[in-house]
Chain A
Amino acid sequence: GSDIIAGRKMRFLVAGGQNVAVVARSIQALAKVGDECYIQAFEDGLTLRTVNSSRSAFASFHFSPLFFQTFERGGGEVQGPSKVVMKAMLSVFKSPASAERGVELCKLVVNPDTDRLLVQFLCRHGVTKTHTLSVMDCEQLQAVYSRDSCTNTLCANPRLLADTVVHFPSNQEEVTLEVNGTKVMFRNYVEPGQDSHQTVLTEFVLTAPEFDRFSVQESSEITFCLKELRGLLTFADLSRMPVNIHFSEPGSPVIYSVQDSAMDATFLLATLAEDGTLCRGARGPSGNSSCVEISGMESVSRERGERGDSSGDLDPPSGPQIPLDISTGPLDLSVGDEDEDIPSTPPPKKIFRSLFFPSTLPPHPPSTPRHEVLATASESEDEI
């Protein structure tokens, strides 16, 4: 009725330079992962999300209504996300430091009807800065995952992690995280076949007492891309939030997250499978292994509005997984299905298979029924 006629404009007001700086930092962290920023308002808050081009890293920042002085998403159905070029967002939210100093209020208005995002800063001395960006309607961007089903959980002070990763050169792509007993090791990943005599090996050993939380049920060694994670680590360090790390066996993605009373951030990174080949990010009982496109819009529509559900209990999916829904066009994944049968070492950039690639060839049958990486889990399941 009236909701439809009233238009779909959404208004959010962030008060205080410090809070605007948090938004700016979150965008800087997202920019380390992907080139497009997906903005979506749910009943329980505003999300900013992105995914990298090879679909092997997914990042999401969620701001609850508490974070805002005004949170008007328009009643009714949750609308699809709006997509903005990440560079544009970066140029608007340029400097967290200057935001902290000089910004008093930040107004965000998303108008899907005019395809515009308005970001207005009310600054010191009465100065107003108004940015108008183009947005595009787009399909859902949601990775489904379950932290609870991960076998290992660590929680670390962000300084600890920052001090660890600083020792890896900025061009170090992959690192290996190994947990064994009470030891946690970070080392740079050296590809098999690489001449170890010419490579500098760096290893950092941390022990259980150095972590705020250390729950290791199974020794594990996972390799993931560090570059995309740095964004979250910087965010956590500057915001002084402890970092939670959830992971299981190699091949399952590792989940990094931070949270406080008003916001949380989750970074999902694909990990190398044990045999060092392309990881099988997900498997589905009836998943079409050659399908990289959306397996049915109906599964997508199920996703919409799900965030707002209060139901926390979700069973493991019996049907096709809900894949990552990016666009209505064919997804251009750099790693095609044909590569599955090619045993040769893929080019470095492509060693991480898409997180969201349903496959019928699991590395080994699971001993316990556990959630796949794409197991349906609304955020509410993981909320504290």
Chain B
Amino acid sequence: WPDRNLCYVRRVPRTGLWRTGAMLRSPGDPGDDERFVFVASLDNARNLSNLLKAIHFRDQVTFFASANGIRMTAEAAKSVQGNAFIQASIFQEFRIEEDSVIFLINLTVLLDCLTIFSASSLPGVTTALRMCYRGYGYPLTLFLEESGVVTVCKIQTQEPEETLDFDFCSTNVVNKIILQSESLRETFAELDMSSDVLQITMSPEKPYFRLSTFGDAGSTHCDYPKDSDMIEAFHCNQTQCNKYKISLLKPSTKALALSSKVSLRTDNRGFLSLQYMIRNEDGQICFVEYYCCPDEEMEGLDS
């Protein structure tokens, strides 16, 4: 499980020199021998695109790269954040000339480019990817190759925005459950979306782990006993019952669908951390993480 410090958010200072809206250089760019600030290559672009789909609930995402790897962050309503981590070791080539590189980019466009050769993934057929970035103001250049055909995409980059710091640290974790994703998938896929909230109860006593919705049809409770064979680890110290806006958590269903295991943690403020362990097509492990704050109005109320 990733150390929270693996890819940390760094506040980007704003100076008068940095303008909003990056410039896209004209086609008359200098050639490839120009120094790139950041270069990364993958033999199979799906090892990146599949993971990014798991946080694709916003168009604009923050791209952050450091020597450790890449982290992409999507946020909504100042209440939920999704992070996809692809560590440097996943890449066949990974070079970064600065301490870090950060910009805002359109994830829809990025995904369209990464999947430009085939919408559905055909086993055995892969698209090779090389990502290059020359620095502030330059686009992110993608070279994609499949069966000898090469496509070059240049995606505009933009002024990065401050990302939320949920300040979620392990020492404040009150309850933690690690589950096999399989058992949670159906529950999440069938969530009653007419309910405003998803209520999560975690407790050392019954009902141990409960997901509840309160929709037009009525209420639904889905209970997992702590000794269920789907639960790998159950560390609940205190009964907590928190409500989260269901519309904010619903996108995490994609991450759940890709993952083999998921860890749910709540801290003393009722903030929720969901960590998804995802195996890519080459069997390597990557992580997607969601943070969500409890629905303010409901804070403190019991079910």
* B217 CB-CB contact with A under 8 Å: yes
A129 on the B face (CB < 8 A): yes
User: Dominant SS at the A interface?
Assistant: mixed
- Contact flags (1/0) for B207-242 with A, using CB distance below 8 Å? 000000001111111111101111000000000000
Task: Give the B-binding residues of A (Cβ under 8 A).
Answer: 85, 87-88, 91-92, 94-95, 98, 102, 124-134
A133 touching B223 by the CB < 8 A rule? no
Report the minimal beta-carbon distance from B64 to chain A, rounded to whole angstroms: 38
Listed residue (A102, A124, A130, A134) with the most chain B CB atoms within 10 angstroms of its CB: A130
Residue pair A94, B224 in contact (C-beta under 8 Å): no
Kindly supply a per-residue 1/0 record for chain B positions 8-50, scoring 1 wherever the CB is within 8 Å of any chain A CB and 0 otherwise.
0000000000000000000000000000000000000000000
- B229 and A92 contact, CB distance less than 8 A: no
Whether B190 is near chain A, meaning CB under 8 Å from some CB there, is yes
Which of chain B's residues 159-218 have a Cβ closer than 8 Å to chain A? 183, 186-187, 190, 192, 215-218
- Chain A residues with Cβ under 8 A from B229's Cβ? 125-126
Within the complex, what minimum Cβ distance (angstroms) separates B278 from chain A? 21
* A131 x B219 contact (CB < 8 A): yes
Contacts A91-B192, A98-B186; is A129 near B217 (CB within 8 Å)? Answer: no
A87: chain B residues at CB < 8 Å are 216-217
Least Cβ–Cβ distance between A95 and chain B, in angstroms? 8
A-B pairs, 9 with minimum CB distance: A88-B217, A133-B218, A126-B228, A128-B223, A125-B230, A126-B225, A130-B221, A91-B217, A132-B218
Residues of A within 8 A of B186 (CB): 98, 102
Cβ contacts under 8 Å, B221 to chain A: 128-130
B227 interface neighbour in A91, A92, A126, Cβ under 8 Å: A126
Q: A127 touching B230 by the CB < 8 A rule?
A: yes
Question: Chain A residues near B219 (CB, 8 Å)?
Answer: 131-132
List, in ascending order, chain B residues with CB within 8 A of A128's CB: 221-223, 225
Can you report 26 residue pairs joining A to B where beta carbons are below 8 Å apart? A87-B216, A87-B217, A88-B216, A91-B192, A91-B215, A94-B190, A125-B229, A126-B225, A126-B227, A126-B230, A127-B187, A127-B222, A127-B223, A128-B222, A129-B187, A129-B221, A129-B223, A130-B220, A130-B223, A131-B217, A131-B218, A131-B220, A132-B218, A132-B219, A133-B218, A134-B218
- Beyond contacts A98-B186, A131-B218, A132-B219: 11 other A-B pairs, Cβ-Cβ < 8 A, are A87-B217, A88-B218, A91-B217, A124-B183, A125-B183, A125-B230, A127-B223, A127-B225, A129-B220, A131-B217, A132-B220
